[in-house]
Amino acid sequence: MKYVKLILPAILCVLIIYITKMSIWYYPLSFGLVIGIINWEAHKYNAYIGVLLSVVVSFISFWLAFFSTGIFSFFCELITNNTNIVIGEKSMINFTYIIAPSIIAPLLVFLSYGFVFDFSKEKFTKYIILISIVLLILQSSFFYSNNDFLKDSRLIPFTIWQVIMTLSLQLVLHQKAKLEKPVTR
Q: What is the DSSP letter of 171?
A: H
pLDDT given at position 129: 92
Report pLDDT for 101.
82
Percent of the chain with pLDDT over 90: 27
- Please identify every stretch of the chain with a pLDDT value under 50, giving residue numbers as ranges: 84, 86, 154, 178-185
Q: Is the peptide bond before 101 cis (omega within 30 degrees of 0)?
A: no
Give the pLDDT score at 179. Answer: 45
What is the amino acid identity at position 131? Answer: I
pLDDT in tens, 83-110: 545 455 555 556 777 788 888 889 999 9
Q: Give me the pLDDT at residue 41, please.
A: 87
Task: Tell me how far CA of residue 5 lies from CA of 15, 154, 163, 169, in angstroms.
Answer: 16, 25, 13, 11
Give the model's pLDDT for residue 93. 53
SS3 9: helix
Bond prior to 157 in cis (omega within 30° of 0)? yes
Instruction: Sketch the domain layout of the chain as residue ranges.
Output: 2-177
Would you say 117 and 44 are in contact if contact means Cβ atoms under 8 Å apart? Answer: yes
- Please give the pLDDT value at position 66: 82
pLDDT at position 54:
93
Give the torsion sign (CA, 151, 153, 157, 158). Answer: positive
